[in-house]
Amino acid sequence: MDEKLEVLFIVIENHWLLASLGFLLFHILRQILFIPVIIICIAGGALFGGLLGSIYSIIGLTLSSLFFYWLYQQFPKFFARILAMKERVFGNRANFSVAQITVMRLIPFIHFHLLSLCLIETTKSFPKYAKASLICNIPLAIIYTIFGQVITEFSPKTMIVVLVVLFLTMLIMRKKVVVMKWEQFFQKEKQYKRG
């Protein structure tokens, strides 16, 4: 196994540009192959080092997010399932800020593109989405590239503490205003009168 890794590192050193482009392409293909973001970011840190791996992961995750936006625009009916999943997970009134989505992207269990969908709903235009995507991907790429191997070696107690801190941070950064449409308000009131 060590010999195979040495060959891989030699290939990367000799064909640096090709390896870099392959890694960025792998970030885009990751969503089709159902590979978790964390694994790709950890691999980037192992193959290219902390700094270069983080830069490549930021670029790759942003390209992946932009590809998702394009797919969402091209096939809106296909993404009805993701919208249904969003409503099941977050409720139909969930309106997250960019800061909340950034924190939620650090939580490994929350689907990357589910949060991309929340980001699309929050930003409402492509330039704002592209900028917010870049901002949201920076902490994710840096933390999992540089500290990814350390995070996977945490004890269960430490992991629970980290998740609780991330959850509390997400709650603190939430938007403080809930907007309810007139029809939704009176529809709820009618349901209460029946019951």
Structure confidence by residue, pLDDT tens digits, 82-116:
777 777 777 766 678 888 888 888 887 788 888 88
Average pLDDT over residues 37-50: 80
pLDDT of res. 6? 67
Q: Where are the alpha helices (DSSP H) in the chain?
A: 2-14, 16-33, 37-48, 50-74, 80-90, 98-105, 112-123, 126-146, 148-152, 156-172, 182-194
Q: Give CA separation, 112 vs 53, 100, 176, 186, in Å.
A: 19, 13, 24, 34
* Torsion sign over Cα 33, 98, 45, 155: negative
Contacts of residue 105, defined as CB under 8 A and 6 or more positions apart, other chains included, come to 112, 115, 136, 137, 139, 140
pLDDT of res. 61? 92
Examine the pLDDT at 52 and tell me if it is beyond 70.
yes
Task: Return the half-sphere exposure (C-beta side, CA atoms, 13 A cut-off) of residue 163.
Answer: 11
**Tokens 């589910």 label which residue?**
114
pLDDT level of residue 62 (50, 70, 90 thresholds): very high
Examine the pLDDT at 191 and tell me if it is beyond 90.
no
pLDDT level of residue 60 (50, 70, 90 thresholds): very high
Best CA proximity match to 27, nearest among 58, 55, 64, 53:
64
pLDDT level of residue 187 (50, 70, 90 thresholds): low
Contacts of residue 179, defined as CB under 8 A and 6 or more positions apart, other chains included, come to 95
Structure confidence by residue, pLDDT tens digits, 66-78:
998 998 888 888 7
First-residue to last-residue Cα distance in the chain? 65
Structure confidence by residue, pLDDT tens digits, 129-148:
999 999 999 998 998 888 65
pLDDT of res. 128? 94
pLDDT of res. 164? 80
pLDDT level of residue 36 (50, 70, 90 thresholds): confident
Q: What percent of the chain has pLDDT over 70?
A: 76
Q: Give CA separation, 157 vs 64, 108, 146, 166, in Å.
A: 33, 16, 21, 14
Q: Give CA separation, 126 vs 50, 108, 134, in Å.
A: 30, 26, 12
Examine the pLDDT at 193 and tell me if it is beyond 90.
no
**Segments making up each domain of the chain, as ranges:** 2-181
- Residue scoring higher pLDDT (153 or 61): 61
- The amino acid at 172: I
Measure the CA–CA gap between 104 and 191, rounded to whole angstroms: 33
Examine the pLDDT at 162 and tell me if it is beyond 80.
no
Contacts of residue 142, defined as CB under 8 A and 6 or more positions apart, other chains included, come to 54, 58
- Residue scoring higher pLDDT (18 or 12): 18
Average pLDDT over residues 159-185: 71
